[in-house]
Structure 1
Amino acid sequence: MSENKTGKYLKYAIGEIILVVIGILIALQINNWNEQRKSKINEKALYSRILIDLQADEIRINNYINDNKLDKKTLKQIFQDSHGQLPQDSLINFSTLRASRIFDLRIKKNYSDYIKDIRNDSIKELIENYFKRETHISDAFELMRNFKEIELKPFLSKNGINNTQELFNRFDLDYYDLREENILDYSKLKKQYGTEELNQLLFDLAIRTSWSLSALDKVLEDNRNLQITLKKVKLSTFKI
């Protein structure tokens, strides 16, 4: 200070401060860039996992659709048979009457906690809508299952339509094979043809089956569209 060097020291100190600030800003920028890069990698990996599960779900949905179409065919055949309109060479697969489908799609179950990690708003909206489709199908399956437990199965038991002898004849079969067998007593079911109770059961089953099919068709369309969109976004956006 005695040599009037205060100004030089101040300039030096200010220069040091500026360099430190610049260094901090550069470090923050590098850290921010690294975080964005990690986020992109994680999001790309998330999209890849979603795509794999969407492809698996597409197979399940098609299986559900085929099962429900078979159910719908069986219900129509029983109605036609009860009114003498069924062709003579037709075979009715009565086993589908008792069967209740187990709902098992993966996207909502596996990714509802990860939706917050998706930065692309359009993708996030598509997945959230897909969640709603899944919920709609789950509701349809649950109502069908409850209806069969509360209304249909008591009707079959009350009228002796469940064929106990046939069940135990095939009792060595695995459950999933057993449920594909015709273990209903056709002659006893035929005695209920034309009754109001059976007609109403067929009516409700047909409505619920149609609802399930409609919901499945829509979620299948959304599934395929979401797969296409995710593939496009991965190709166009995630260049790391």
Structure 2
Amino acid sequence: MIKFFRRTRQKLLAEKKVGRYLAYALGEIVLVVIGILIALAINNRNQRNIDAKNEQTYLLGLQEEFNISKNKLTELIAVNRANIESAEKIIGLMNQKDSLPLEEDLSQLLLNTFISDVAFNPNNSLLLEIINSGNLKNISNPDLRIMLTNWIATMEDISRQEEDLRHERENLLDIFRTDQFSIKTVLQQTDVLTSLKTPTDGERVSNLGVLSSQEFENKLLLFIVTCHATEDNHYSPLMGYIDDILESISSEIQEK
């Protein structure tokens, strides 16, 4: 078509028909512009298709990551609650001034309270890759983009709370790092030393005296309070946050 316009222009120019020459020249320009616009439209459509495909890949990956993180958080909440339950049982024993429990029972409660540290380790590899590579813009839902961006700051807040809880746990364990009470007794009574194939010979030091220790009670109460704060003010809201993210992701995933 353009060749036709070019040959016609050349013929009109030779015949000195300037008006028609200009009309054909303008037609040639219009055709070129139309061709460029069509090419751009096709290219833009192809790019949109590529972006949409990439977005779906990201969404499916993020959905898997956050589901794994949700399962991890569910398990961690259960561990934290078990720590609280055992610690509160020890407080209950401390309030029974007229009777003492069996050494074995106290040792099991002490082990249950302190053996499990609490630390949330979410699956963030894909999310971090998306953010660091600048591909977060490929997530078309603006609310979801904001939630994903804020997730990192939320994890930092969770880590600070967990560090506070770890500090209270260590303070409580410090009592058993003195010569007044015995970690060895706890491990012996709960058969941990046996499973570790560690010698258990030697005189056994009773830990029943810890139930009358004001220092131990104070530290145990601080530990319990921090455990409750970790779940009520951090883990529970975080679970809701994960559910919101998963709901938003699910609404953006196209049905195959």
The alignment's TM-score, normalised by the length of structure 1, stands at 0.80
Which residue pairs with 1:94 in the alignment?
Answer: 110
Q: Does 1:229 align with 2:241?
A: no
Which residue pairs with 2:143 in the alignment?
Answer: 122
Q: Deviations over 1:125-173 (max 9, x none)?
A: 3333444443332222222223334x23322111332117735422159
Match of 2:172 among 139, 143, 152: 152
Which residue pairs with 1:105 in the alignment?
Answer: 122
Name which of structure 1's ranges 132-141 and 17-26 shifts more when overlaid on structure 2: 132-141
Q: Does 1:194 align with 2:212?
A: yes
Match of 1:13 among 25, 30, 37: 25
Q: Deviations over 1:15-59 (max 9, x none)?
A: 111111111111111111111111111111111111111111121
- Look up the equivalent residue of 1:94 and give its one-letter code: L
Q: What SS is found at the alignment partner of 2:120?
A: coil
Q: What SS is found at the alignment partner of 1:193?
A: helix
Maintained 8 Å contact 1:130/1:219: no
The answer for unaligned runs of 5 or more in structure 1 is: 174-184
- Look up the equivalent residue of 2:169 and give its one-letter code: K
CA distance in 2, matches of 1:202, 1:69: 15
Q: What SS is found at the alignment partner of 1:205?
A: helix
Structure possessing the higher radius of gyration over alpha carbons: 2
CA distance in 2, matches of 1:145, 1:33: 53
Instruction: Considering Cα pairs closer than 8 Å and 6+ residues apart, tell me whether 1 or 2 has the greater RCO.
Output: 1
Which residue pairs with 1:182 in the alignment?
Answer: none
Aligned ranges 1:49-60 → 2 under 5 Å: 49-60=61-72
Q: CA RMSD in A?
A: 3.0
Q: Deviations over 1:177-197 (max 9, x none)?
A: xxxxxxxx8932x21223221
CA distance in 2, matches of 1:8, 1:199: 102
Q: CA deviation at 1:14?
A: 1.8
Which residue pairs with 1:176 in the alignment?
Answer: none
Query: Alpha carbons of 1:118 and 1:148: their partners in 2 closer, same or farther (altered >3 Å)?
Result: same
Maintained 8 Å contact 1:65/1:216: yes
Q: CA deviation at 1:100?
A: 1.7
Q: What SS is found at the alignment partner of 2:182?
A: coil
CA distance in 1, matches of 2:166, 2:154: 18
Q: What SS is found at the alignment partner of 2:242?
A: helix
Query: Alpha carbons of 1:58 and 1:186: their partners in 2 closer, same or farther (altered >3 Å)?
Result: farther
Q: CA deviation at 1:105?
A: 0.9
Query: Alpha carbons of 1:26 and 1:125: their partners in 2 closer, same or farther (altered >3 Å)?
Result: same
Matched residues, number: 223
Q: Does 1:79 align with 2:99?
A: no
CA distance in 1, matches of 2:246, 2:181: 48
